[in-house]
Amino acid sequence: GAGVSQSPSNKVTEKGKDVELRCDPISGHTALYWYRQSLGQGLEFLIYFQGNSAPDKSGLPSDRFSAERTGGSVSTLTIQRTQQEDSAVYLCASSFQGRETQYFGPGTRLLVL
Amino acid sequence: GDSVTQMEGPVTLSEEAFLTINCTYTATGYPSLFWYVQYPGEGLQLLLKATKADDKGSNKGFEATYRKETTSFHLEKGSVQVSDSAVYFCALNGGSSASKIIFGSGTRLSIRP
């Protein structure tokens, strides 16, 4: 069985551009999470989906960040008007229903020039 | 809010040495506790977990016991190997954090041959 997959694995963009990061969770997992790993901030929670709804968006750092999930499966994290401080590894995780072990994808390394 | 505090790194040990990485937590409710590991160039992997007080999680020779009275979840291994070199993250979920994982800052472990 496949694990959590993310694409692209690396993304280099220019300041001010929009980027979209994709996550495919483990099949059958209803809960999906986005985290960010950066040198200065460690591992931070961004947003949590249960099915297609997001009961917890408390970690999104600004209104430039948004995420959606469709069909209870794939999720997209969008960062608008990227800034250099957005440079980080963006991690996606999924779990069966939301309180069990979370399994992480390999991450998308984002570099904003 | 919930939080995790773990031993600052880096930690450097010789092969076959005894390892302890300290971790304490603050949480309301009854969180589950985890150790995640990130090997060089790889994604975040679950190493072990414990879901209630006095539970012991173990994997690959590593152990950690959920101590509610001291709010601790210290990671131990009796004899480390070069291949254990990685960054180790203590983490919790549940408690007041609902489903999101709260991570410690990570401890970088290097093992000398």
* CA A83 centroid distance within chain: 17
Average per-residue pLDDT in chain A?
93
Tens-place pLDDT, residues A19-33: 999 999 999 999 999
A102 touches chain B (CB under 8 A): yes
Q: Does B106 contact A48 at a Cβ distance shorter than 8 Å? A: no
pLDDT for the residue numbered A40: 72
For residue B87, give the chain A residue with the closest CA: A42
Chain A CB contacts of B98 below 8 Å:
48, 55-56
pLDDT reading at A100 higher than 70:
yes
Q: What type of residue sits at position B18? A: F
Question: Which B residues 15-44 touch A at CB under 8 Å?
Answer: 32, 34, 36, 42-44
pLDDT for the residue numbered B43: 85
pLDDT for the residue numbered B112: 95
Chain B CB contacts of A38 below 8 Å:
none
Of B32, B30, B23, the residue nearest B93 (C-alpha): B32
pLDDT for the residue numbered B96: 59
pLDDT for the residue numbered B98: 62
For residue A5, give the chain B residue with the closest CA: B43
pLDDT for the residue numbered A1: 53
Once rounded to an integer, what is the mean pLDDT over residues A36-59? 90
Neighbouring residues of A113: CB distance < 8 A, sequence distance ≥ 6: A12, A13, A14, A15, A84
pLDDT for the residue numbered B95: 65
Chain B CB contacts of A107 below 8 Å:
43-44
Once rounded to an integer, what is the mean pLDDT over residues A92-112? 89
A34 touches chain B (CB under 8 A): no
- Interatomic CA distance for residues B92 and B106, integer angstroms: 13
pLDDT reading at A99 higher than 70:
no
Check residues B64 and A95 and name the one with the higher pLDDT: B64
Q: What type of residue sits at position B20? A: T
Neighbouring residues of B4: CB distance < 8 A, sequence distance ≥ 6: B23, B24, B25, B26, B90, B91, B92, B102, B103, B104
pLDDT for the residue numbered B8: 86
Shortest alpha-carbon distance between residue A95 and chain B (Å): 10
pLDDT for the residue numbered B35: 97
Chain A CB contacts of B43 below 8 Å:
91, 104-107
pLDDT band at A72 (very low <50, low <70, confident <90, very high): confident
Shortest alpha-carbon distance between residue A48 and chain B (Å): 7
Mean pLDDT split into 10-residue runs, chain B, 113 residues: 90 96 92 93 91 95 97 97 96 75 94 95
